[in-house]
Structure 1
Amino acid sequence: MISRRNVLAALGAGLAIPAWAQHHPGHDPVYSHLTDPKIKTPPLDTMKLQQVFDSPAPKAAQQGRWVTRAALPLPRSEMAWATTLNNRMHIVGGYGEQRVDRPYHHVYDQASDKWIDAPLLPRGANHVGVAVVNGKLYAIGGFIEQNRRPDNLCFVLDGDSWRAIAPLPKPFAAIGCAAINGHLHAIGGAIGDTFATKKSVDWHLVYDPRIDQWSTRSPMPTGRDHTGTLAVNGKIHVIGGRVDSFHTNSNLHHVYDPKADKWEPRAPLPTARSGHGAVFYRGRIFVMGGEGTNRVYGQNEGYDVEKDIWESYAPMPTPRHGLGAAAIGNFIHVAGGGPIMGGAIQSAIHEAFTLD
């Protein structure tokens, strides 16, 4: 069931960006169009028709709440993921300013509620996999055209600049990345230089920073991309995602044990989706946002790792996909993303969830 909620309050809150116009004059501060810079009004009717808020999972006793935080410096989407380093959220690459090959790197500081311009990627890309290993930020693969034509380039943020590391053995993008025991796992993703040839893969590669080398591990049971992937208690959870297209989204939830090099199924994601955020917070994995056929999801579903059950929590005020999500302290921060299906519109909206 689709709930048509008015998002004007969220739009108004997102307009308060004091320093934004100084750096990006002439751009809309909340939304931008991928192909036509003259479009300044977000497609509110389409957004309302596509928004989904209702989860099939039982409601948690403590629903939590969402608050508005400082908007991104400019509207962005299809960063694919975000990560936390030194209590700050890093968002890398993505669509923005009518381009899909931007080298963006923005960092959010929760203490000051401000965004910081950080060292740009050596090349622009979208759907870049990110993870922190041994206190360093890694950027893995990415598409250099719109959701297609992946490359195999990988980088690590070394001090104030990015440094190239061993490339992926083969190009792919929209990869789920997670760090375990000082190694970076790159799982699933998509290949294809055209929309007609694009498909999901079940690949599982591991990078060892000590020797700057990639090796292979057991592939995940079903190839998919745009997943929610994260490490919890020494194991890797891969949740949801798409099989070749968001028209065939998956609710699969698999867990990888690096000691046994084996995969096992877990309780499936209540709402099948892709391009969502997945964050470990307060002993649960929270999955929010995502897209499907004529759908943009606001559902915020939490997984109890010990009990193997899902519950629903307060949904996102502004459903989005291709967003950046990361936990800092008592909040899950969700920034940017597309408010309608596909990559046509980007947003700068930044909302944060808390159970306090």
Structure 2
Amino acid sequence: MSKLKFLITLLVLSNTILAHAESASYGVWHNAASTLEKRTEIAAAALDGKIYAVGGFSQPSLSNVLDFAVSRMVEVYDPATDTWTETTPLPEGRHHAGIAALDGYLYVIGGFTKGGLSVWRAAATLYQFNPVNQTWRELKPMPTARGALGVTVYQGHLYAIGGYDGDNNSAAVEVFDPQTNIWTSVAAMPTARDHLAVVTASDKIYAIGGRPSLNYRKNMDVVEAYDSATNQWHSRAKLPTARSGIAAGVIDGRIYVVGGESGEGTFNTHEMYLPDEDRWVVLPPMPTARHGLGAAVVNGRLHVISGGLTPGASFSQVHEVFTPTR
């Protein structure tokens, strides 16, 4: 090998090692207790230090064939004991629903349910869960029925963003006030899509990735941020890896985006967005590639739950946790 080739090889190797070291320095993954049941397309959120994994599809069996495997199941994870338990199931099965916690209650919004011989009937329902007495009640439905939407909390309100209404993608951004039980609409998202991730960070709402018309062969790298002060959306730095069927969580103002699916397979990809710098950083990948997974943050750790191991209808009990170190 010539000296020039040797130096080039050494430089490439050094850069690879440095990039890996920088990536690894941001945090580490470890396994936590598996969920009680194999599911996919769940909704997950943290409430009062515990994690709720809601609905989705269960692995088909004789016991759920009449429901087309659409799940009502609600599992609760306690990080203090590393254990899962069941609580009161949803009033009706939902998959691809939106979820958020606010003021001591859990909210499950929209999603798809079974209708006739289909499991893709878009729902507008809003369910509220009270963890004290473990009961659900139905509140005023969304103006626009849709599933595979994103839901987040901002300034005491729930924002339901995007999704698929059964015929077309929706760009709707509808806002629910729990104090008045009233929905209002604000500026529509510029890029209509489904299977996106929606989070709040640094006083903005971020809509990340997704796909058009439920088609994971046309994944998007679009990132748009909503400013409630001006009622406007703005484009931000693109997601490094175009993905849909993803999940996301926020720790110390940083957005962590994991998983996804495409026509070629599932993603173990893990990328972090720094809102103040409008910049993405590639982080250590999830140990297990998945789509249709749920994510929730408790005690500064990102819990990534269930999801499909292969594109389409696949199921898991996987529960992995990312702990940032910087």
Interval containing the TM-score (normalised by the shorter chain): 0.7 to 0.9
The AA in structure 2 aligned to 1:90 is: Y
Structure 1, unaligned runs of 5 or more: 1-55
Question: Which among 212, 217, 221 is matched to residue 251 of structure 1?
Answer: 221
Q: In the alignment, what sits opposite 1:341?
A: 311
**Aligned position for 1:183:** 157
Counterpart amino acid of 2:222? L
Contact 2:255 2:273 in 1 (8 A): yes
1:126–1:246 Cα change, 3 Å: same
The answer (yes or no) to whether the contact 2:50–2:79 under 8 Å persists in 1 is yes
The equivalent position to 1:201 in structure 2, one of 155, 164, 170, is: 170
Corresponding residue for 2:15?
A: none
Q: Which residue of 1 aligns with 2:35?
A: 72
Secondary structure (helix, strand or coil) at the match of 1:242 reads coil
- C-alpha displacement at 1:59, in angstroms? 5.4
CA distance in 1, matches of 2:263, 2:300: 33
- Structure 1 position 335, deviation (Å): 1.0
| 1:221 aligned residue (165, 190, 195) | 190
**TM norm structure 1:** 0.79
Query: Structure 1 CA distance, aligned partners of 2:304 and 2:199?
Result: 16
Amino acid at match of 2:122: P
- Return 298-307 or 147-156, whichever deviates more: 147-156
2:247 equivalent in structure 1: 277
Please give the residue correspondences for 1:1-356 in structure 2 after superposition, counting only pairs within 5 Å: 60=23, 62-79=25-42, 81-98=43-60, 99-145=68-114, 148-158=120-130, 159=132, 160-192=134-166, 197=167, 199-244=168-213, 245-343=215-313, 345-356=314-325
- Pick closer, same or farther for the CA change 1:57–1:353 going to 2, 3 Å: same
Contact kept in structure 1, 2:123 and 2:146, CA below 8 Å: yes
Q: For residues 214 and 337 of structure 1, what CA distance do their matches in structure 2 show?
A: 31
Assess if the C-alpha contact under 8 Å between 2:50 and 2:76 holds in 1: yes
* 8 Å CA contact retained: 1:78, 1:322: yes
8 A contact 2:24–2:284 mirrored in 1: no
Q: What CA distance in whole angstroms lies between the structure 2 residues aligned with 1:267 and 1:169?
A: 31
TM-score under structure 2 length normalisation:
0.86
In 2: Cα distance, 1:157 partner to 1:348 partner:
23
- Supply the distance in 1 between the matched residues of 2:324 and 2:230 (Cα, whole angstroms): 35
SS state at 2:124 partner: strand
- Taking the aligned partners of 2:189 and 2:21, their CA distance within structure 1 comes to 28
Mapped to 1, the partners of 2:79 and 2:244 lie a distance apart of 27
2: distance between equivalents of 1:147 and 1:242? 19
Q: Check conservation: 1:130, 1:138, Cα contact below 8 A.
A: yes
1:59 and 1:240 map into 2 onto residues whose CA distance is 24
Work out which of the two has the higher radius of gyration on C-alpha atoms and give 1 or 2: 2
Q: Is the 8 A contact 2:202 2:253 kept in 1?
A: no
Shift of 1:61: 6.3
Q: CA deviation at 1:233?
A: 2.6
Q: 1: distance between equivalents of 2:21 and 2:155?
A: 35
- Report the CA distance between 1:216 and its aligned residue: 0.7
Change (3 A) 1:217 1:153: same
Q: Tell me whether 277-286 or 262-271 shows the greater mean CA deviation.
A: 277-286
| Matches of 1:62 and 1:311, distance apart in 2 | 12
Q: Structure 2: 5+ residue runs without aligned partners?
A: 1-18, 61-67
The CA RMSD over aligned residues, in Å, is 1.8
Contact 2:36 2:84 in 1 (8 A): yes
Q: Is the 8 A contact 1:174 1:226 kept in 2?
A: yes
Amino acid at match of 2:272: G
Contact 1:148–1:191, Cα closer than 8 Å, also in 2: no
Partner of 1:35: none
Percent of paired sites with the same residue: 36
Distance across 2 between alignment mates of 1:63 and 1:217:
36
Q: 1:350, CA displacement in angstroms?
A: 0.7
Identify which of structures 1 and 2 has the higher relative contact order when contacts are C-alpha pairs closer than 8 Å and 6+ apart: 1
- Secondary structure in 2 matching 1:353: strand
